Structure 1
Amino acid sequence: MVVVHLSAECFPLAKVGGLGDVVGALPKYQQELGVTSIVVTPYYDRKFAHDNEFEVIFESNVRMGDRDLPFQVLKETTDKLGFHLHLIRIPGLLDRSEVYSYADETEQFIAFQLAFLEWLLRFSEYPDIVHCHDHHTALVPYLMAHAFKYRFLSTIPTVLTIHNGQYQGWFGWDKFHYLPETDPLTRGVLDWGGAINPLAAAVKSCWKFTTVSPTYLEELKQSSKGLESLFLQEEKKGSGILNGIDTDVWNPGTDSLIPLNYSMDNVTKGKQENKRALCKEFGFTLSKPLFAFIGRLVGEKGADLLPAAIEKILSAARSKASILILGSGDPAIEEQLAQLKETYKKDYNIYIGYDEALSHRIYAGADFLLMPSRVEPCGLNQLYALKYGTIPVVRSTGGLKDSVIDVTEPEGYGICFDELSAESIVEAIGRAVDLYANTSNLRLLRKRMMLLDFSWNRSANQYIDLYNSLK
């Protein structure tokens, strides 16, 4: 079986969030299971592209409206990532340093998809599956099904994975001329609410779609920025498959980015020594439970609730916790969180930005991971935390609900809460502080978490089963 994964991100070439982690891992595990995995992304002017060997395997031009765009397809020559990585480069559009936030982002990703389809037409043998990830690639299923130019591709099964349904790629009908000619009767497939909605078009056009957790599949029917009725209508095409993690990268026993490697057998010592180093780095007291938040500082992640919750916890006469934040996002939230540092410097610190090595040190050294998310389609951070024996404190939504069981339940190992408020975060942290005081129970929970299997092997097999159902 040959599967082409089409994505805007792929770790370690370009990663902004969980999409990059998934596309950098799932194809590798599928390859190990006997699937020939081809990943296609835009070219980015970044370290990975500079430091590795690529060869040009295809060159052509593609028409986008009144523009004739020359493009190249580059292949990484060693397959060092465990799959076949291909980059599409278009001067001025697909040769930039950043992934998102350009004024012409719509043109950027339409050009990427059109160039991919132009190349796909020239394949000596078509792949068995074209697997598209998120709205940046979501026009591909529609064009393969309905564009006259790509009619020969219509028999190739298409799968769409929705990593975050809040982002749908809307653009106006004034840009419809960018697309190749299609049957006028199918233009309604593109339309949603008077605009072109790539995500909606893909859900209508693809053979199957998946979400990154079973609970998120159900949540989209209740809240998906206007697409609720569509997900209800197309529910027979949908499957929820929980993401996994790459245990070659995320493994405390082999992780070269943490001060001391450890396993389930010596988790207490391992966590303590990694915590000692982290506390020294950020000025914390070793004896207090250390809570961490890693992620985007945006409302979607519940980060706007953190300033009030942190003040409530740390303003007590005798603070019983330390809190460390790693992330960036909304400037107003960043400023609020940064201002707290002067007031609570003994028990609070923040690193605004993102540092991959620091994130590994935090997972290894923190006692608890905070995830008070409003929306969390899957979440990978809680899975990393579980692997490192760090107890997740989560709001029960999306993939967090599917992967974290509260300690009050049989075989539970996390702290869960339902209400979205600063008060609920404070209450959950209070429960965690009490849990931390019970040393023997803490050791048991850490071992229980580290025994869990959230590797990609399970999820990769579920995707392969889905592909086989389309043959």
Structure 2
Amino acid sequence: MKIIHLSAECYPVAKVGGLADVVGALPKYLVQQEVEASVAMPKYDNEWVSKHEFETVFEGRAPLGDWEFDFRIQREVDDTLGFPLFMVDIPGLFDRPGVYVEQESGAPYGDEFERFISFQIAVLDWINQMSRKPEVVHCHDHHTALVPFMMTQSYRYQALKHIPTALTVHNGEYQGVYDHGRQNMLPYFDPQTEGLLDWDGRLNSLAAGLKTCWKITTVSPSYMEELGYDSHGLEGLFQHEKQKSQGIINGIDTEVWDPATDPMIAHHYDRQKTADGKRKNKQALCEQFGLDPQYPTISFIGRLVHEKGADMLPDLFRTFLESPQSVNFIVLGTGDRNLHRQFEAMSSRFVGYFDAALDYNEPLAHQIYAGSDFMIMPSRVEPCGLNQMYSMRYGTVPIVRKTGGLKDTVVDLGDPDGYGITFYDFSLDAARHAVQRAIDLFRQGRKMAALRKKIMHLDFSWNASAKKYIALYKELSN
């Protein structure tokens, strides 16, 4: 079975969020289960790309409105990711280091639509000429969501009309919304079908994909339900397309995220040596941030944005930092500049108890997972969440709000077979109560040690989820 994944991100090639982790892992696990899976993505001008060798497998020229563009499809020579990686080289549009924004200014690229529609057209032109076409084209998020529309409606791709498409919604907040005039850049289609592109009076890429794909998936069952009543204007569409929708929880790549072999952490450990490994890594982490390892250490890793609930963190942390209790807090991430300023001020005020690394740092993230006692995720929205799974893989107890995939993957300690700390309301009081439960748990040494071993034995690998995707592909292609 031949499956092609289309995505703007893929770890470790180019990563902004969890989309990259999924696209970098799922195809590898599909290949291990004898599925012929590959990934096609834009060719960015970044460090990973510059260090790998590519060979051109197809060259073409395609229309983009009133003009045409040249492109090349290039395959990474050594298949170092565990599956074939194809990169779409489009001079002038993707030969930049940033995925969505200027790296220095943080400003979004003004030609976003041109970039991603040209990528999708180039991929379809390539598939169009294949002698053996894929059984399923698997699209990820709005950057590739116009592919199902073009495959079913554009005259240029009539030969692809019968190929099933799956569209996975990793984050429904980002929909690819533009003025209707942009539809003139798509290959010719019957004007009577232009309503498929419309939602609320604008061209909505995600909406068009939801309407025209064969199957919709989201990254957790709970998030699938939530989109039906909270999806930034698409609630009615998700409800209408419910019959072809399915929530499949993400997995994690247990080869990359393995404390026994992880090259990015100070000391290796496994489920048999959890206590010693956690102690040594906590010592290394606390030394790096100037903290005392005898105190409970609670960390946050992620984008400092509204949907992650990061705006709650300063007040939440100050509640404890200004109290008689001794507790450490660490923040790793970038985002809202006001939050940057608040965290910088807190680092100066609460020396020895709080510190923040306000950047993207993958090696440091691994060390924080290994060295922390708890990982807090107070998300307003969390389609699946991977950090809680990474944390448990490293024996770090999650503190999460019960939403989306967090609800599906973390069972509260107070429930039968529970192993995490959860709270329901997005409020300072609810989060404060959850953090206090964590501090109290830390003081119960034996209970804490047993819990660490328990969560390290949980299986969040892609194996089970990959089997569900294989079943979905077989259903579509039969």
Alignment TM-score > 0.5, same fold: yes
1:92-111 pair list within 5 angstroms: 92-100=92-100, 101-111=108-118
SS at match of 2:300: strand
Distance 2:181 2:212 in 1: 22
1:426 to 419, 428, 432: 432
Deviating more after overlay: 246-255 vs 177-186: 177-186
Q: Which residue of 1 aligns with 2:414?
A: 408
Give matches, 1:324-343, under 5 Å.
Answer: 324-343=330-349
Superposition TM-score, scaled by structure 1 size:
0.99
* Counterpart Cα distance in 1 of 2:420 and 2:290: 27
Tell me which residue corresponds to 1:371. 377
Q: Distance in 1 between matches of 2:3 and 2:352?
A: 52
Sequence identity percentage: 50
Aligned ranges for residues 306-385 of structure 1 at < 5 Å? 306-316=313-323, 318-385=324-391
1:224-263, Cα deviation, whole Å (9 max, x unpaired): 0101011111101100000000011001111111111111
Match of 2:163 among 156, 161, 175: 156
- Counterpart CA distance in 1 for 2:220 and 2:200 is 27
Q: Which amino acid aligns with 1:364?
A: A
The secondary structure found in structure 1 opposite 2:143 is helix
Which runs of 5 or more residues in structure 2 are unaligned?
101-107
For the residue of structure 2 that corresponds to 1:88, the secondary structure is strand
Does the CA-based 8 Å contact 1:320-1:433 persist in structure 2? no
AA of the residue aligned to 2:171: N
1-side partners of 2:22 and 2:298: how far apart?
Answer: 26
SS in structure 2 of the partner of residue 470 of structure 1: helix
Whole-Å Cα distance in 2 between the matches of residues 359 and 386 of structure 1? 14
| Offset, 1:360 | 0.5
Which AA in structure 1 matches 2:384?
A: C
Kindly indicate whether residue 150 of structure 2 is the aligned counterpart of residue 143 of structure 1. yes
User: How far has the Cα of 1:124 moved from its partner?
Assistant: 1.3
Partners of 2:121 and 2:283 in 1: CA distance: 52
Q: Which residue of structure 2 aligns with residue 183 of structure 1? A: 190
Q: Could you tell me how far apart the structure 2 residues matched to 1:250 and 1:401 are?
A: 22
**Partner SS state of residue 306, structure 1:** helix
Take 1:468 and 1:270, find their aligned partners in 2: how far apart are those partners? 43
Counterpart in the other structure of 1:465 = 471
Q: Does the CA contact (< 8 Å) of 1:94 and 1:112 recur in 2?
A: no
Q: Which string of whole-angstrom CA distances, capped at 9 and with x for unpartnered residues, describes residues 366-419 of structure 1?
A: 000010000000000000001001000000000000000011111111110011
1:194-231, Cα deviation, whole Å (9 max, x unpaired): 00111111111000010000000000001001010111
1:292 aligns with 2:302: no
- Look up the SS of the partner of 1:357 in the other structure: helix
Q: Distance in 1 between matches of 2:436 and 2:326?
A: 9
Deviations 1:5-45 (A, max 9, x none): 00000111100000011100000000010011110000010
Deviations 1:289-341 (A, max 9, x none): 0000000000110000111111111001x232100000000111111122111
Distance (Å, rounded) in 2 between the aligned partners of 1:167 and 1:218: 18
Q: Could you tell me how far apart the structure 1 residues matched to 2:58 and 2:293 are?
A: 56
Equivalent residues in 2 for 1:7-406 (5 A)?
7-100=7-100, 101-316=108-323, 318-406=324-412
Query: In terms of mean alpha carbon deviation, does 207-216 or 90-99 score higher?
Result: 90-99
Equivalents in 2 of 1:324, 1:424: separation in Å? 20
**Gapped runs of 5+ residues in structure 1?**
none
Aligned residue identity for 2:210: V
- Is the 8 Å Cα contact of residues 215 and 399 (structure 1) preserved in structure 2? yes
Runs of 4+ in 1 over 2 A off after TM superposition: none
Distance 1:383 1:333 in 2: 26
Alignment length (residue pairs): 470
Kindly provide the CA deviation profile for residues 131-159 of structure 1, in whole angstroms up to 9, marking residues without a partner as x: 00000000000110111111110110000
Q: Does 1:2 align with 2:9?
A: no
Q: For the aligned residues, what is the CA RMSD?
A: 0.8
- Whether the 8 Å contact between 1:293 and 1:370 is mirrored in structure 2 is yes
Kept after mapping to 2: 8 A contact 1:9/1:23: yes
Residues 1:442 and 2:448 are matched in the alignment: yes
Q: What does the per-residue CA deviation read over 1:49-101, in whole Å, with 9 as the maximum and x for residues that have no partner? A: 11111011111111101121011111001111110000001111021110002
Distance in 1, Cα, partners of 2:200 & 2:130? 36
